[in-house]
Every structure is written in C-alpha cells, then in structure tokens.
Structure 1
Amino acid sequence: MAKLPTKSEIIDWLDAHPAASSKRDIAKAFGLKGAERVELKRLLAELADDGRIERRRRHYRDADKLPPVTVLVLIGPDAAGDLWAKPMEWQGEGPEPRVLFLPRQNDPAIGPGDRFLARLIEARDERHDYEARLMRRIGQPQAEKIVGIFRKATEGGRIVPIDKGVDREWRVRADATLSAKDGELVEAEQIGPKGRMGLPLARIVERLGDPSAPKAISLIAIHQHGIPDAFSDAALAEADRGEPASMAGREDLRDVPLITIDPSDARDHDDAVAAMPDDDPRNPEGMIVWVAIADVAHYVRPGSALDRDAWNRGNSTYFPDRVVPMLPDILSGDLCSLHEGVDRPVIAVRMRLNSSGDKIGHSFHRGMMRSGASLSYEQAQAAADGNPDEATEPLMEEVIRPLWNAYSLLKRARDRRQPLDLDLPERKIELTPDGRVKSVNFRDRFDAHRLIEEFMILANVAAAEELERLRRPLLYRVHEEPSPEKMDALREVAEASGFTLAKGQVLKTSHLNRLLGQAEGTDFDELINISTLRSMTQAYYHPSNFGHFGLALKSYAHFTSPIRRYSDLVVHRALISAHRWGDDGLGPTDIERLEETALHVSETERRSMAAERDTTDRYLAAFLAERVGTEMTGRISGVQRFGAFVKLDETGADGLIPIREIGREFFHYDRDAQTLMGSETGVEIGIGQRVTVRLTEAVPMTGGLTLELVELEGSAVPGQSKKGRGKPVRRKPGMARAQETAAKVRRRRVRREG
C-alpha cells in the first residue's frame, strides 16, 4: 500500500508540475489506488477549504501561484523601459506577483490597461516573479453585431432583430443605411447609446438581400455567428498553385485494398479503410486494419496564408444548403480528396487486432494510396447484407467481408469497454432544387456507419498513443466526467422513475449504460436519455490529457478529418515532426501557441454547432409554417419559468408552450425538479411527459415555434386558448407518470436537505 502524501508534499508536487494537476495526475504520481484515492480527495478538499490550493475544472494548483497560462493587464513601462503587467485575478494571500512582459518583434502593439492572454514562466530574478510571453491580445469589447430586417422611415429607419428572445430594436440614421431597402436583411453594428425615441443607434455594414429567399436561412446564421465565409486572396492563390503530390519520400500503399465509405452526397473523402487477416501465426484469428487519411499538411504548410485562414475558421460548418469549408474547394474537393482510382497522398496507420478485438500494435506511414471504390453507406451495407451491386460485387471477398470481420472484432472490444450508448436520432433536412424544405426525416443508422466510426476511433487512439510514445506535443480531444452535482440530479430522476444508478464508487460509462438499458422500451426511455445527455460535460481540445469519459478511453486525439478540422491537421503535423517525414510538421511557433489553438478551435466548434442548430430551427419553422393550427404529438424536453419546451415526434423540432397557454392558474417553477406545478389543481408538467399540442405560430425568420397545450398525459388542466379562455385541455387516460416522477424527486430532495 502506498504512503499517503502530506499536504506539504502535495503542494510541492503541484509547484513542480503545473501542467499536470488533476486528481488523477496526483494519485498516479504518489502511486495511490482504490481507497487511497478517496483519502487523497479528502486532503485536496481540505487544502482547497484552507485556501492553500485552488480548484479549477477538476485541476488543482497552489493558490499563491499563477497558472502557466493566465490573463494579464499591462501596467506600462518603468523608467528603464521594462514593461510590467499584473494578473486580472489574484486570489493568493501574499503580495500580488510582479510580472515582466517580454514582447517579441512581431507581437501586436499593447498599451497600458490592455488585457492579454499570456504564457508564464517563473523568473529566476529577484526583481520579479514571472516572465510573460503574449499568446493573444484580448483588447477592447467589439461593437455589437446585429442581423435583422431594415424598416425604412422618413429619415433613416430601424432594424428589427431576427434573434429569438430579443425584443429591442435599433435606430439607423439616414447617413448610415447603406441605401438598404425596406424589408431587406442587413448586418449592422451598434454605434452609440440611446438616441431619439429611446432606441440605441446602429449603422448598416452589409446588405444581405431578401430575407424570405430560401438561401437566406443559412446566410443569416453565417453572419449572425461571425463565421468567416470568404477566403483571402493569398489563400486562394496558394490553393490554385497546388499540384498533385509526388512519390518522393512516400511509401507506396497503392496495393493496399483501401476504399472510402461516405454519405451518398459527400463531396470530399478524407478517410479510407481496408482490412485483411493477420498472417502472423502468433496472432491466430487476428486482423490487420488500415486507416488512411488525406495528407492535408502537404498542401497547408505552417505559417502560410492557407494555414492562417484554416486556423481562423477552425473547422468546416455544415448547413442543409451549403458548406462553409475550412479549406478552398480545390483542396477539399480535389487535391486532398481520396477519389476513386486516383493517386492521393495520405498519412496512414496500420493496426493489428487480436481475436478479442484489442489493438496489439500499430505503425504510421506517410504514403501514396489509390482508392479502389467510393461507396455510400447504403451501398456498403447492402453488400454486407448479401445484396451487392455492380460496384461492390467485385469487392466482396477481398474488401467487404474482411472489413466486416474486423468490425465484428472491434464490437467485442467495444462491448467490454462500454462507451456511453445514448440513443439520439439525427435529423436530415432535404431541400428542393430552389432551396425550400422538401422533407424532414431521421437519418438511418447502418452497421456501415458504426464500422467507420469504430475504425476512426481506433485510428484516433493510435495517433494519441504514438505521439505520447514519442513524447511529442499534440491536441487531445478531452471529455471530462460529469460533476457529482449533475450525477446526483440524474440519480434523483432515475430513482423517481423506478430505476437505479450506482452510487459510492468511481463513475463509469457502464453504470450509465445500465441505467439507459433499464429505461429502454419504457415510458421513461426518452426522459432518461435526455437527462443523461444533459448531465454530460462538453468535449473540448487541450494539450494535456484528461481522458475521454464518453468513449471510455484514456488517450484520444482527432486524427481522421484534417480536411474539416484544424485540430486533426495539428495532429498530422505532430506525426510528421515526430517521424521526421519532412519540413511541414509542427514547428516551435505552433507548439508555443498550442494552448491558444486548443482554446480557439474549441470555440469555433461551439460557434459552428450554434449556427447549425439555429439554421435547422429556421428550416423546420419554414417547413411547419403551412401547418399552423395542426395538432401534433411530442414530449416535454425542457421546463422554464416562462413555459415548457416540447420536442415534436414527427420532425424533432422544438417549440415553446408559453405559460399563458398552459392554464389560467399560477404555475410554480421548480428549477431543481424541472417542473411547473399548478397552484390550484396541483397539476405538474415535467421533462419526458407526453403531450398533444396545437401549432399556433411558426416564424422562419427566428426559427421560433409557439404551441398551445391540447392534451397532457394523465392530467386534466384548465386550459386557455386564443379562441376562448377556459377551454379545457383533453385528458389522456392513464397514470400521470411524469407528475409522479417530479413529486418523488422533490420529496427525496427535501429529505436529503432536511
């Protein structure tokens, strides 16, 4: 049994290892396991309570030390011309540390009072405590960006917002309209405080055209979220100069039976796969799996205009009618894309699986491949099911069957690993040629999809492990475990629904899968899936390895999509440097700004997700606008003080039942239990409850859907409708299970807190 460290030893270790400061890192350093980790958690909590260390996002550090990356404020030069800065926040008990700022020649100008993100190293000079290097200037707040409809007036006009939940308008002076027409979609920025009529002033910076045009829906999201959608002239010129890669310095992989499997409408193909039996007698029934990824680093070199534009975008953004790509089309759709029958440069990984599906070895190669086929998921699945077509018939023995044999091994390993298994169907919006919504469906999920996913996960793990083995910096894909508070909330919902979630042990995804399995096929299936999803933390990128909880993996990096994710390009460059494959690898400047890049690409990923979500909402509102007055079924997906959100069964769209449409009585909002309870009837509305609603309004410009409650599962609610107050809501026979669940949650909380 390892000796538990003293508090002083813990603080000394944190001082010596500022970049590795999670509880897992500390436990590993002192060799602590099992119950010893529980004692370590108690010691860390005591140190945090005493103010001797600080806890941030599951990591601990000495409270009297600044973190390696922090926000500083420039104080200004002293008489000797040295630049000094101070931390934005200082929680320590001692005097505020002195920080000497050392600007580099190409750093942007920073003046007294400016804030900036800096990398710190402890100084060996008695005059100051730290030396700082600029990572990113934070600067002054930018003018507020506004996307809305321009309404012309006698002098100037006003801008009506298109954002849901924004009820203010802006006034535009006559000299700031940019000659916009009445009813035109515009982008503007706020330029001052309130003017006449009590409205803030704005000026139009771009006219975006007819807001009712189908193509305007994604355009609104692009401008609203600030997604760069135009490449610089220098980047386009670099892309145009690109030529097919030669065999120089590459392995010839053209005899490996690699194929691509993608959606039927895919324009680019950045990954190819192959499998074959392992002929090593020491690995009976084992398989060899190849994953080859487009060698984007060959064309997008560090510090180039293409690199700057790709870094700025961070990733591609996908809308139903268009893609805002990370790279120009000549690269993403041609030179980098692994088209059938064409030689293409790749970075490939060869992996060995044993008969249990475990990876027992891997090797990376920079080579040249030639895809034997570009298949759709539907084609590949049909072939695997015994219905090959003209394209897949010749591939059955050498390509298709070996791929599925390897997948069967990976499924065994997956079943043992138990990654989180949420059932969350994905919507697919189909458009007509003129950009209008044709249909809204849920995407089919085939084994072909799962095969590619498992191959890509395996390759991503291999990339992380390879760079760890070679002690090279990289960007990890991090997914931290849920907080204890969120697990307690999920546990309450589970127990009130009649299920169990393990407590008092280290949380594993298998525990959550067991809960999801209990709920599968019951009335609480969707409730438990939604509640589990909401208990999860958001994944992000970081140069330090904090593990991937959802996939139940210790080391994970994104390697397989460098055409559409900058994080993957960073990993490719790290592999190039580590293997000395060329001068286009990860250089000192890239390594120095790795933490900044991690933060940036995490932010651009969230930006794209928000833009894609808003666009989907607007398309769904446009699709449903012709069905106003129709009754629809769904489930309560969220509860707020102002009403309840409903996810509609047919389309997966989310609409709001305003509190005024629920009933005439006062409804009490319980934030913890996520319920609304009628003050007179005691009726409760909670997440997961089945409802029938009437669509009363659909606004494509904002994506907003307004609903009226018609029928509530198991509860009679005195309703109110626009056509007549007091109209009763129909009661559906059966037990009010969601109501009982919410009441149980509340009783358990009262007992615990009392």
Structure 2
Amino acid sequence: MTTENAPGQQDPHAQREADKYDNPIPSREFIIEALEEAQKPLRLYQVAKALEVDEDDEERYEAMSRRLKAMVRDGQLIRNRRGAFGLLEKMDLIKGRVLGHPDGYGFLVPEEAGKDLFLSEKEMQKVLHGDIIIASVVGEDRRGRKEGAVVEIVEHNTQQVLGRLNHENGLSWVRPNNNRLTQDIFIPKDGLLEADEEQVVLVEILHQPTTRSGPIGKIIEVVGDYMAAGMEIESAIHAYGIPNEWSEELLAELAEIPDEVTEAEMEGRKDLRSMQLVTIDGADTKDFDDAVFAKRRKNGWRLVVAIADVSHYVKPGTELDKEAIKRGNSVYFPQRVVPMLPSKLSDGLCSLNPHVDRLCMVADLAITEDGKLERSQYYEAVMNSKARLTYNQVNDILTNKKSEYREEFSDQLTNLEDLYELYQVLQKAREERGALEFNTTETRIVFDDDRKIKEIVPVTRNDAHKLIEECMLMANVATARYLKWHKIPIVYRVHEKPLEERLKNVRTFLGDFSLTLEGGDEPTAHDYAAVMAKVAGEPHEHLVQTVMLRSMNQAVYHPDNKGHFGLNYEHYTHFTSPIRRYPDLLVHRAIQHAWKKTGAEGFAYDEAKMAELGQHCSDTERRADEATRDAVTFLKCEFLSHRLGEEYDAVVTAATNFGLFVELEPLYVEGLVHITELGEDYFHYDNARHCLKGERTGKVYRLGDRIRVQVAQVKLDDRKVDLRFISGGSTELNADEATQDDSSIDENDASIEAGDEQKRPRKKRYYRKGKKPAAKGQESS
C-alpha cells in the first residue's frame, strides 16, 4: 500500500494501523519521523503530501487531520499561529507535569530526561499542581535556574479538591488541604451546600484556572470537621489522587466470582494440601499472600514459596484489571488500607487463610548447602495453610526452647526449624555477596480511643522477619532468572548504581573519617558494605550509613534488566505480593506464558507496554509513599501541637542551607531548627560533608550531632514543626577540609528493598529522615 510509505521509508507501525483500521493512515511515530526529516513545522496538506495521503481521499485526509489534532491535544506536537504542526523540542518547548510548592511557585518536571523548569508564582496562577503542560524556556532566575512560561495546558489532573470552607462579605471559597494547591477555589452561591465555617468539604472544579481568573467549583460533599479522626487520611487520599472507590461495573464483575474455591478451579493443579505450608506475618495482618515450607535434603534444601494466584481471578482487560492498573499498589495508612483489589479477593479468595483451600502459584526451589539457587520449578497448585503464625510467635519458637508456642504449633516445628537453618545459610550468603544492610530504627504509632497519637514506639525486627525476607528474596531472584532465560518481557525491580556526582560527595565525606570507598567509578554493594563493616560499633556509624544511603538511586520498575545494586543481584523482580503490587501480577502472567514455550511470541505485553506499566507502577509507588508520609506527618504535628514550649534532646538527621532537621527523643518526631536559630554568625552549607559551618565562629553542625531544642511552633496546614535551638552540637572541621557550597540538599528515597519482602506495610529499613516535601521544595522540586 503506497499510502503507508513516505518517500524512501516504510511506516514501522503500518501493520498495527492496518489491524486497527479498514482504511489506515500513517502512525503517530511515522508522522513524527516525517516532521523531523522536514526540519520545519508543516501544515496539514504538507504533512499529508510528505506521507502520501491524497487530499482527494476525503476519508483518509480527514482521519489524518484528526490524528494531528489528537497529537497536539496529547502534547506530542504543537500547532503554531500559522496553523503548522511542529515538534516540541525543535521549538524549545518542554512537556511535563506541574509540581506545586506551598510558597506559591512551582516546577515543571519534564516527561523526558532533563532538569526541572522553575515556574514563577505568576505562571502557577494559570495551572494547578499535577497538570500536564507545555512550557517554553524564557530565561534564568537569580539563582541560575531555567525559568519557564506556560504555553499550553495538555491535561487538567485536578478535578476534585478536599479543603476547608470559608465565608467573608457574602463570598465563599475553599482553601485546599493539599498545600501544593495554593489557589483558593471560589464557590458561587449556587454551588454551596449547608456547611459550617472551617468544615472540610469536597469540591468539584467546574472551571480550571486561567490567565484571568482562578478556579471555580461547587461543593458536592460535606466531609466533616477539620480535626476529626481519620480526616488526615481523607485529605491525603484526595491530595494525591488515590483511587478509593469501586465502580458498579467492577462490583458486577466481582459478584460473578464464586465465594469459595470450586472443584473445577482445582482441576489440573498440583495438590499441596497435605504439605505443612504456613503463613508468617505481623499480628495485625489481614491479607496473607505467601506461605512457606522448607525441608532439609542430602545436599541442601527444598524451599517451597506458595503465592496467592491472583492471576486466576484478575484477567487482562477486565474491570478488576483496569482498576488494579489504576491503583498500581495498595496504600497502607495508619489503621487504614486502600487496597489494590476488593476485599473479596484481597482478604478472601486471594488470601492464604488457615485451614481453607486456596489457589496458588508455586516457586519450588532447590538450594545448595552454601545458599545458592540450584534450580527452580514453577507450577499452579491448590494449598491449605496449616497455620497462621506471627513473627513474634515464630521468633519465640525458634529462640526459646521453653516457648508455649512450641506445643501449640508442634506439627510445624520441623518445618520451622528447617526454615530457620536455611535462613542462617541464606543470611551468610547475603553477607558474602555484600548486600547492603542498614540498621535503622523503625517506629509504630499507638493510638488512643479518639484515634490521636498516644505514643510512637520503636519496632524491633527479629529473626522471623528476616527469615521470611530471605525466602521472598530467593523466590524473586529465581523468578527473574527464570523469565530472563525464557526471554519474556517483564518489569524488573531495578536499583542502579549511584551517580558519579554523589559518589564524589560520598568520598569527600568519608575522607573526613579516613575512610575510603573502593571500586572507582563502578563501586559495588560489596564496596559499600566494606565501609559499613569498618565503622561498625563506632560513634559515627549511624552518620556514615545515613550519608551512604542518601547517595543511592531510587529503585524502579523497568523492562531493562539493570540489576539491583543494593541487594547485589544481577537479576531481580517482584513475584511475591500480587495482592498488593501490580508488577507482581504481571510477572505471574509472564510465568504462565513461559509454560507455552513460545518465548515472547503471543504474550499480551511487549517491552514498550512493560516500560509504560513499569513507569506507571513506579509513579503509584511514590504516590503511595508521599500520601502515607503526608498523613503520618500531620498526625505527628498534631501530636506535638500539644507540647509547645517543651524541651527535648534531639539528633540532627539532615543539614540544609536553611537549617537543620532533627528528630526529637524519645518521640521519633522531626522538626526544623532554622539557620537563624544557630547563633550570630553566617552559616554556610557544605553539601559533600552534610553540615553547616559558621563563617566567624567555625562552629559546625552535622548529621548525627546531638542538640537540645524547644518546641516553638507547629503549623498543621503546612505539616511543619519549628524548633528553638537551646544548646549542643558544634563539632569542628579542619580548616583545610571545610568547603562552602550553597547547593541544596538532595536526599534520596533509596529503595534498597532490604525490608520490602516482608510484605506487610511498615517503615522501610533504610533511613528516610529529613525529607520534608515543603522544606526540600524551597531549593528544588
């Protein structure tokens, strides 16, 4: 078909278009290629001519016109004032997502790689946080950042807002709870519902902001009082756009699924109902997505990891699948979960509850005496969990010969003891491999009867936690290797090596302690672990591990197998939690396709689709982290608001060019000591050494320093705690060591995954202090 060809070129996606349309037109990709080759904007007739679409063929010509307009609408092209279509990058235009800041300005985060574009407060009046826009670079601000101007709004992503209602002089408006939305929403009289001043209401935006006017909306629900129990979670759900309702279509589809596993569903599956498989989870866990069994063999172990077979119930293209994609993962707030799947599945059919038949996907692994994976086998099975055990019960059984639980769970003792012996071997292999291990304090919030924080207590990880973690890690590694060998596209869990600039800063910092990070430009996790071994037990151990952790990248989902730096694995993916993570469900589907032995042929997902889903799931994971952190931060601020004037010992968790973040002891709550509180001196921030140094006095405040502070002010709306400096800290750097650097703190959400495979929601094992969104945003997005 000549119309599929441009001169000398073939549309690479012609077949795809032909499969979709009776009278196909050039693909979007081919249109972009034609514009790149033309090296100038083209009008409709010029694009059509270049791609050999005849103007006399009215149907195809009109379809071509609609496609070009759709590409403009989606931000792939821009149409200039002459009506010509051009490429964004050729016009010095950038497409991306708006990231608002509580102080009114914002940033454009580019879709493609590149630095964020600063948006002034004036430009932010035209858009809302989360909008997809096209912007032009108009210059640099006084700090040398590229500054942008809004050219076009591609997509408005804020349709509903939760906020507090205000009345004054006959006018009404709503102030959003999300402090990244800095524009009040005007409510006309016909958009009001009966609500009191300062009550929290849900607003539907009728008119988005423009150059001339702010957003206008109507109240669709009165949610409740601002300080009501649970309101911080409702605010976070709306602020971060977390889906939390099931559609009628989905519920109808769910009703068709039997309430119990049927005989027909078990047919053809391996029967493991007599095996001593058990679940080991937290005491308050409701959904059990994995069960384990181990048996000592002559030359090693057999490890059986049985995972709930979510793929049996959630088929591609169904309403359940569409909603699971949209959510990406379950979101775990304090005392509330927004699940990825409805409770009929997450707490029922897909939960490996004790003494009931359940469908599962099994990784049957052979492990050598030295903890290496020898071979793996995957199959569908039916199982019946023999016990629902908690971490504390198992730990007591394994470490206390007089434990009361040894008699209660006597049938599981052999299995548990074999699992424990295997864990010790896997732990040794982990140490030899050089996987990173960060010893940080996790906490748990204890609520009173009014759902206010009663106390925040440290949580101790025991050997049972680590046992399950090692089993899940082994299953994930085996799965990645298995699917890599079958050449099937999947989303790997990728944790890339640290960036060159961060390595340079880490080495500068370590030099102050006469420490060296080996490995040159390509250090391994083993090199990192070697440094940690040298400082074990030293007073600065915690400081060193914090700085090293912050030098790392964030783990993401991606179809390119780039390995996992922190765990020091060449192949790694997520297989063990399909109830709460969509990538795991994709991996289960890939395993099922692998049994057909056709490679990637016929698989429902190609690499491009996996890349798209991987990016989306990485985004929803970050969204969940930010939303839960927002809710917890509000609770902690409310907790401290009743303690104004009280003094506490504190430890510095982050230094920035505007002050010190510190954690109060023994509350495990964080606040800011502003730089002006540190004394009559000019303090300069040293990015490499993570400290503030006084120009005149030479006083230095750095990570790990202990100081005394007083709670001065709590700003609930901004999630900020301001502290007054009283005494302490002030170490010294050698004169030839100190440098001055006004660059901003760049703390990482370095997902080492060390605790990720414990399945239950909890604070991750790595250190995450000092990352307050508002404070960080003062310097970067």
TM-score by length of 1: 0.76
Q: What pairs up with 1:66-77 in 2 under 5 angstroms? A: none
Q: 1:229 is matched by which residue type in structure 2?
A: N
The 8 Å contact of residues 685 and 740 in structure 2, kept in 1 or not, is answered as: no
Specify the alignment match of 2:604 in structure 1: 588
Q: 1:237 is matched by which residue type in structure 2?
A: A
Specify the alignment match of 2:739 in structure 1: 746
Q: What does the per-residue CA deviation read over 1:595-619, in whole Å, with 9 as the maximum and x for residues that have no partner?
A: 2111111100010011111111112
2:289 pairs with 1:270: yes
Q: What does the per-residue CA deviation read over 1:541-570, in whole Å, with 9 as the maximum and x for residues that have no partner?
A: 111211111110001110000000000000
**Which shifted more, 90-99 or 677-686?**
90-99
Say if 1:469 and 1:194 are closer, same or farther in 2 by CA, change over 3 A: closer
Q: 1:239 is matched by which residue type in structure 2?
A: L
Q: Which residue of 421, 436, 445 corresponds with 2:461?
A: 445
The 8 Å contact of residues 573 and 586 in structure 1, kept in 2 or not, is answered as: no
Aligned pairs, number: 625
Q: What does the per-residue CA deviation read over 1:62-96, in whole Å, with 9 as the maximum and x for residues that have no partner?
A: xxx9xx99xxxxxxxxx996566689899999958
Distance 1:85 1:362 in 2: 41
Distance 2:437 2:735 in 1: 25
Q: 2:267 is matched by which residue type in structure 1?
A: A
Specify the alignment match of 2:516 in structure 1: 500
Distance 1:203 1:108 in 2: 35
Q: 1:519 is matched by which residue type in structure 2?
A: V
2:253 pairs with 1:256: no
The 8 Å contact of residues 574 and 586 in structure 1, kept in 2 or not, is answered as: no
**Which shifted more, 290-299 or 229-238?**
229-238
Distance 1:644 1:476 in 2: 37
Distance 1:234 1:623 in 2: 42
Q: What does the per-residue CA deviation read over 1:351-406, in whole Å, with 9 as the maximum and x for residues that have no partner?
A: 11111111111111100011110000000000001243346441354221111111
Say if 1:308 and 1:247 are closer, same or farther in 2 by CA, change over 3 A: same
Superposed CA RMSD in Å reads 3.7
Say if 1:503 and 1:471 are closer, same or farther in 2 by CA, change over 3 A: closer
Specify the alignment match of 1:317 in structure 2: 331
Distance 2:268 2:735 in 1: 64
The 8 Å contact of residues 162 and 702 in structure 1, kept in 2 or not, is answered as: no
Specify the alignment match of 1:289 in structure 2: 303
2:150 pairs with 1:191: no
The 8 Å contact of residues 478 and 546 in structure 1, kept in 2 or not, is answered as: yes
Distance 1:489 1:477 in 2: 26
Question: Post-superposition shift, 1:350?
Answer: 1.1
Q: What does the per-residue CA deviation read over 1:163-196, in whole Å, with 9 as the maximum and x for residues that have no partner?
A: 5587764544434444443111234447334779
Q: 1:746 is matched by which residue type in structure 2?
A: T
Specify the alignment match of 1:331 in structure 2: 345
Q: What pairs up with 1:423-438 in 2 under 5 angstroms? A: 423-438=439-454
Say if 1:194 and 1:588 are closer, same or farther in 2 by CA, change over 3 A: closer
Q: 1:635 is matched by which residue type in structure 2?
A: V
The 8 Å contact of residues 713 and 721 in structure 2, kept in 1 or not, is answered as: yes
Question: Post-superposition shift, 1:456?
Answer: 0.2
Specify the alignment match of 1:160 in structure 2: 175
SS at match of 1:500: coil
The 8 Å contact of residues 494 and 555 in structure 2, kept in 1 or not, is answered as: yes
Distance 1:168 1:330 in 2: 40
Say if 1:441 and 1:117 are closer, same or farther in 2 by CA, change over 3 A: farther
Q: 2:621 is matched by which residue type in structure 1?
A: E
Q: Which residue of 463, 476, 479 corresponds with 1:463?
A: 479
The 8 Å contact of residues 179 and 717 in structure 2, kept in 1 or not, is answered as: no
Distance 2:40 2:324 in 1: 39
Distance 1:605 1:545 in 2: 19
Q: Which residue of 244, 247, 261 corresponds with 1:229?
A: 244
Q: What does the per-residue CA deviation read over 1:556-600, in whole Å, with 9 as the maximum and x for residues that have no partner?
A: 110000000000000001111111499xx9942576622211111
Specify the alignment match of 1:637 in structure 2: 653
Distance 2:267 2:504 in 1: 58
2:533 pairs with 1:517: yes
Say if 1:491 and 1:387 are closer, same or farther in 2 by CA, change over 3 A: farther
Specify the alignment match of 2:582 in structure 1: 566
Q: What pairs up with 1:700-711 in 2 under 5 angstroms? A: 700-711=716-727
SS at match of 2:288: coil
Question: Post-superposition shift, 1:443?
Answer: 1.4
Say if 1:741 and 1:474 are closer, same or farther in 2 by CA, change over 3 A: farther
**Which shifted more, 397-406 or 86-95?**
86-95
The 8 Å contact of residues 147 and 224 in structure 1, kept in 2 or not, is answered as: yes
2:235 pairs with 1:213: no
Distance 1:164 1:677 in 2: 32
Q: What pairs up with 1:130-169 in 2 under 5 angstroms? A: 140-142=154-156, 144=158, 146-163=161-178, 169=184
Q: What pairs up with 1:260-659 in 2 under 5 angstroms? A: 260-279=279-298, 283=299, 286-385=300-399, 386-390=401-405, 392-395=408-411, 397-504=413-520, 506-580=522-596, 587-588=603-604, 593-659=609-675
The 8 Å contact of residues 191 and 219 in structure 2, kept in 1 or not, is answered as: yes
Say if 1:116 and 1:371 are closer, same or farther in 2 by CA, change over 3 A: farther
Which stretches in structure 2 are left out of the alignment for 5+ residues? 1-8, 14-22, 42-46, 54-59, 78-110, 113-130, 133-152, 743-781
Q: 1:502 is matched by which residue type in structure 2?
A: E
SS at match of 2:209: strand
Distance 2:678 2:35 in 1: 48
Say if 1:742 and 1:313 are closer, same or farther in 2 by CA, change over 3 A: farther
Say if 1:155 and 1:367 are closer, same or farther in 2 by CA, change over 3 A: same
The 8 Å contact of residues 672 and 722 in structure 2, kept in 1 or not, is answered as: yes
Question: Post-superposition shift, 1:494?
Answer: 1.1
The 8 Å contact of residues 500 and 521 in structure 2, kept in 1 or not, is answered as: no
Say if 1:387 and 1:184 are closer, same or farther in 2 by CA, change over 3 A: farther
The 8 Å contact of residues 685 and 741 in structure 2, kept in 1 or not, is answered as: no
The 8 Å contact of residues 492 and 748 in structure 1, kept in 2 or not, is answered as: no
Q: What pairs up with 1:721-732 in 2 under 5 angstroms? A: none
Distance 1:662 1:431 in 2: 35
The 8 Å contact of residues 652 and 660 in structure 2, kept in 1 or not, is answered as: yes
TM-score by length of 2: 0.73
The 8 Å contact of residues 261 and 377 in structure 1, kept in 2 or not, is answered as: yes
2:733 pairs with 1:685: no
Say if 1:168 and 1:303 are closer, same or farther in 2 by CA, change over 3 A: closer
Distance 2:524 2:361 in 1: 34
Question: Post-superposition shift, 1:159?
Answer: 3.2
The 8 Å contact of residues 275 and 402 in structure 1, kept in 2 or not, is answered as: yes
Q: What does the per-residue CA deviation read over 1:471-495, in whole Å, with 9 as the maximum and x for residues that have no partner?
A: 2221111000001110111111111
Question: Post-superposition shift, 1:505?
Answer: 6.1
Say if 1:83 and 1:92 are closer, same or farther in 2 by CA, change over 3 A: closer
SS at match of 1:347: strand
Specify the alignment match of 1:16 in structure 2: none
Say if 1:698 and 1:302 are closer, same or farther in 2 by CA, change over 3 A: same
Q: 1:337 is matched by which residue type in structure 2?
A: S
**Which shifted more, 186-195 or 325-334?**
186-195
Distance 2:63 2:387 in 1: 50
**Which shifted more, 293-302 or 399-408?**
399-408
The 8 Å contact of residues 156 and 176 in structure 1, kept in 2 or not, is answered as: no
Q: 2:171 is matched by which residue type in structure 1?
A: G
